Each structure stands twice: as C-alpha cells, then as structure tokens.
Amino acid sequence: MTAPVKALFEPFRLGSLELPTRVVMAPMTRSFSPGGVPNSKVIEYYRRRAAAGVGLIITEGTTVGHAAANGYPNVPRFYGEDALVGWKKVVDAVHAEGGKIVPQLWHVGNVRKLGTEPDASVPGYGPMEKLKDGNVVVHGMTQADIDAVIAAFAQAARDAQAIGMDGVEIHGAHGYLIDQFFWEGSNQRTDGYGGSLANRSRFAIELIQAVRAAVGPDFPIIFRFSQWKQQDYTARLVTSAEDLGAFLKPLSEAGVDIFHCSTRRFWEPEFDGSDLNLAGWTRQLTGKPTITVGSVGLDGEFLQFMVNTDKVAQPASLENLLERLNKQEFDLVAVGRALLVDADWAVKVRDGREQDILPFSRDALMSLN
C-alpha cells in the first residue's frame, strides 16, 4: 500500500463510533425492497461491501413512519416490525464482517406524487400548499404536521439504536423535505419556519434536537446537506464561507456529530479564493468531522446516468482525493457508483489493483450484486 493510499485505510474514531477504514458507502436508492422490507438480496448486498474494506455503510434512503414520507416504489422503510426485523439482519451481517452501518432516514416531502405507495391517496407534504386543477397535490404542512414528522424521525432513530445500528444519518439534502424548508424557492412561509435562512432552518434544528433527545448524547448523528437540488443543479443555499458558517453552527449545536457534504464533484472549490471543497469548509467552520462525496473514483458524474444512456464511467485517479485527505481537509470519503458496481472497490484500491476495478454503466442499476 502506497503512503498516500494508506490514509484511506486508517481507522477513524469519534466517541463510540470506531471505523476500520475511512471508506464510506454513500446512500444510493436501489428499489429492491418490495413492501418496504429489506430481503436476503439486500442483506448480502451490504454484507459484501463490509467484507471488502468499507468502514461505514450508509444505507439507501429509508422512509420514516409518516404517511407521506415515501416517493418511490420498492424503497425500504424504517418503521414496522417486518422492516425492522429485516434491517436487524442487515446489521448483524455487516457487523459480522467487521463493518459499521447507519440508516439514512428520509422524508421526500413535496417530491411525492399522488398514486405512490403505500397509500396512493396521500399527496406530497411540503412547506407550502400546491394546487393543480383544483386538487391539492402538495399539502402545506401545519404545526401538527411538522410535529408529527419530527416525532417520526425521532422514533426511527430510537429504533435504529434498538436494533444495533451504529448511528443514524438524517437526509437534509437534494431537495427533499428538510431541504425544502431550507430553500427559499420552496419555503415562503410567513410563520416561524419561513423568512430568513435562520428561520428556514428551524425545522431541521428542531428535528435534530428531537433525534438527539431520543438516542442520548453518545449515539452518532450524521447530517447530509447539499447546495444543489434535484430541481436546480446550480442552486446555492449560501454563497460565502461566512454565510455557510452561520447556517451550519445552529445545526452543529443541535446535535450533529458528522456532516456529510454532498457535492457533484468533490474536487471543485466551494467558494472563490480557496481550493477547499464543501466538506473542507464545513470541517473548518464547525470543527466537526466531515464526509466528502461526489464522483469519487470515476471519470463521469452521476447526472450523466440519470437518463437512458450507453455511456460508461471508467475508474479515475484518486491522486487529488488522497492529497486532500492527507492534508486533513476532510475525515471520511463516501463512494457511490464505484462501490455500487464493484463491491471490492476498496480492497482493489488498497492492494494497488486499480486496473481490476469495474467501470460503471446504467446496467449496474438493474440488479444488486
């Protein structure tokens, strides 16, 4: 193992969380859990990554126990005895291989469409009501709705702790519910949850506080956020380091232990005048550990594969990534599509077998391997 690569395979410790490597499996929706229950294929999918050098697995998005949380067919849920029994089997399999695992807790918000499982009659929920042809397609959330969603996240975190998960990740990115409250374009409320960015952050802050209260002081909470949105890939929640610090500080104080900083390309600087990426700035501003992510290990970004295409993303150099990691710009590295297509990605990198890493194409999305 070369000296630069070694940093990727050193252990990481934060309180009760001890990881054997700095490699994190990024959360990726796979839609292979009919009825919302992870099955034997899902168990084996995660086990293989843990057995092959992934220090921390962040599961695909799992929906919390709220009627409007889900937006897609066959995604797993994190409520109900049957689903939790399935996740307990995943936990046990990952732990048996020496890995750690956290669920990503998810509510899609106004992305949900009428007709979506489990109850087709439930519309999307969001910061603001939306009508189409006189019908409510997005229900504007009342205080009671906000309280119910917060309670659902807290219960999911409590259940994660009970079945042996090693922490939780709260999905606050990519234009889903929590992010919809952050983003001025989707949150023009006139109550205490709207207006300034500080007010628009209130929902997330209260949610994080509730999760922290549910699991106690020592259970790790990861918070994933992004500047870009599914609805606008060029969106920027903040445009300066000063504003980023003001945004992150209350979230950090609410109980976040690790920030997962979602970018499309990890090597891109976040602000003019510095080479630091979003994870680098977040670590510097909060003092909390950070996870970087965004086209790690591949020469094509994921957006190219959101449509039908015959493009293939080839393995790419990790030199830039390793240089940043060795400078402690960030603490952990989340790998998405490269790990999705090649369960052995981490050990191949560790052993200098980059030539054996599999390329990524849309075909990889069609099955769990």
CA separation for the pair 8, 1 (Å, rounded): 10
Least Cα distance to 337 among 310, 307, 299, 308 occurs for 299
Q: Compute the distance between CA of residue 323 and CA of residue 319 in angstroms, rounded to an integer.
A: 6
Dist CA 205 CA 253 (whole Å): 9
DSSP state for residue 153 in the 8-state scheme: H
Whether residue 176 lies in the annotated active site: yes
CA distance 334 to 318: 13
| Catalytic residue, candidates 46, 79, 125, 176 | 176
CA separation for the pair 211, 191 (Å, rounded): 23
Cβ neighbours for 212, distance < 8 A, ≥ 6 positions apart = 221, 254, 255
| Number of Cβ atoms within 10 Å of the Cβ of 116 | 19
For 176, the 3-state DSSP assignment is coil
Expressed in percent and rounded to 5, the helix, strand and coil fractions of the chain are 40, 20, 45
Contact criterion met (CB below 8 Å) for 98 and 67: no
Give the residue numbers annotated as catalytic, written as ranges: 176
